[in-house]
Amino acid sequence: MNNKSGITHLIRKEAKRLGFSEIGISKAVRLTDEEKRLKKWLDKGYHASMDYMENHFDKRVDPSKLVPGAKSVISLLYNYYTEKKQYDKNTLKVSKYAYGRDYHKVIKKKLNSLLKFIKEKTGDINGRAFVDSAPVLEKAWAAKSGLGWIGKNTLLINKYMGSYIFLSELIIDLELIYDEPVSSHCGNCTRCIDACPTEAISKSGYELDSTKCISYLTIENKGDIPVIFQNKMANYIFGCDICQDVCPWNRFAGEHSESDFAPKEEFLNMKKEDWFNISEEKFKILFYGTPVVRAKYKGLKRNIKFVKSSKKDQFD
């Protein structure tokens, strides 16, 4: 099929059939504005120890460096919001995105199916699938394709779904019908800025200092957690949802329908004492196949120890 409008329609329809929540398509061009913002962010050292953010700079801002002759970037959203919560409100906390199976594996399989479908319908096209595992500015492309705007907490916010969404992309050398960006709807709201216990979000918003972010400190950070963050971790030991929990747009978030993202009952039942006494064997069984293994047992124990020492009187 060579009809641009027709194949675009088929791609959108197939993406929804595969379970993607939303799809947006943008023209594959160099991201000149984002290039300036990224350089400024890196120059400030806000990427902390994530040195990989400095690597492959050109690939991050120019899709043709990833797929020669790239013409379109297909951005996709996948809902992971759940009303389910850890039962003990005083227990140590894990971010919602890590409740179930590793999203990279779940979504990559669907992306590859979509890419295969496009090739079957259009012939020998070239393309690649990306799920948060390559130098791609995912939020920028999603915003460019009209799937939402980048909020003051630096996350992509969709007007109808909020921000509890995984992002992924297909970059292909096929011209399609493109979507238009939407305007920001954060307005004068500062809830995410005010709620962040470590002041990781700049006072004016739209910029995040990773060296202060609880998600960075509990996942990417390989060293000790600085003592200045004692009593500021809000009981989080893997990731953080604070800036999302307070965002008014997340009142529109609906329960996901992905069985692979369902949390284990044993995990939801974990009390403080269970976390304090977790063995490496229990860690492997409980979190096998989930994003939590990224921290490894040693990293999770470090986080647990830090939160416990921060609130020693409360936990003793």
d(CA 196, CA 204): 13
Which sign, positive or negative, has the C-alpha torsion 142, 144, 147, 152?
positive
H or E stretch covering 4: helix 4-17
Q: What is the DSSP letter of 155?
A: S
Alpha helices in the chain (DSSP H): 4-17, 32-43, 57-61, 103-122, 138-144, 191-195, 214-215, 242-245, 265-268, 272-276, 280-287, 296-310, 312-315
H or E stretch covering 200: none
d(CA 209, CA 47): 7
What six digits make up the tokens of 207?
């910029």
Q: Of the candidates 136, 7, 132, 123, which has an alpha carbon nearest to the alpha carbon of residue 59?
A: 136
Pairing mode of beta strands 72-79, 165-172: antiparallel
The amino acid at residue 63 is P
Say how many C-beta atoms besides its own lie within 10 A of residue 138's C-beta: 18
Any idea which residues carry the catalytic annotation? 132
Contacts of residue 122, Cβ cutoff 8 Å, sequence gap at least 6 = 1, 2, 7, 174
d(CA 165, CA 78): 5
